[in-house]
Structure 1
Amino acid sequence: MNRKEIDLLLSRIEGLKSFLENNSLENFQQEILNVENYLKRFGSLAELLSHLENVEKIAYAAKEFLNIDEVAAYLQVSKGYVYKLTMQKELTVYKPNGKNIFILRDDLNRWIKRNPCFSNAEIKRQANVIAYTLGQKSKNKPTKGGKK
């Protein structure tokens, strides 16, 4: 164990000691029951770990800024490609301490959306909108002689 782990363990032991001193045996037993009931919800360790992974994903999704590793995972590309995008100024980066690179999730989403490939249904919808707009303009266009 390193010094940090020992300090953390001592801190937890002191917290437990304080809890035991300030609570009755009944309160302690109730806390154990609460933990057991929580763990029973999952049935197995694998289910609990799966639940924790989902919680991590939710927390990850809520992050506004992502580091290079997270950006690579988010875009499903290599870290080298992310660095290339930043060097070519394709992505706006933030360097609060001059070294670590952070990128806004919204900037990544805009970058992803820069070259859409529309479905046939979307192309048809856009064509209908354009045709309707052109039809409206031709109806409102004055004819020679000043009458519509």
Structure 2
Amino acid sequence: MRKGQKHTKETREKISKTVRRGIREGTIPLAPTIFKKGHATWNKNLKGIHLSPGSEFKKGETAMEKNPNWKGGVQKHAKDCTYLTTETNKRVRRPRKIYEELHGRIPEGCVIFHLDGDRYNDDPSNLVCVTRAELIQLNRRVRK
């Protein structure tokens, strides 16, 4: 059979029958990762096992706002923009949050663009909502 050619329906049925018969008779083994019935798991009866206690959260440690190094949930990303941590511990892009607070929900298919090209300048006058098609044109202009 040449590359790109398909088996005929008759050939596919023959192959399928042969494979099923081989599995049934044991000449074609099933994948070795399939568990057999009655297989005991490695973690049975090990409730509360601590495999790496050195990296676990310790009692008495301070988290988030209580930690003296807490920066208000603001993270600067080297290749992107600034992120904020919300109350539900989810990361949100800061320019998006600022724009939505002022102008409402961002339409589907639109993104927030920084007019001056500085992705860390989240001044409301620097943020504009553009479609992805407009974004392509703006990025071409900025890169030239």
TM-score clears 0.5: no
TM-score of the pair, normalised by structure 2: 0.24
Bigger relative contact order, structure 1 or 2, given CA contacts below 8 A and separation 6+?
A: 1
| Higher percent of residues as helix | 1
Using the size of structure 1 for normalisation, the TM-score is 0.24
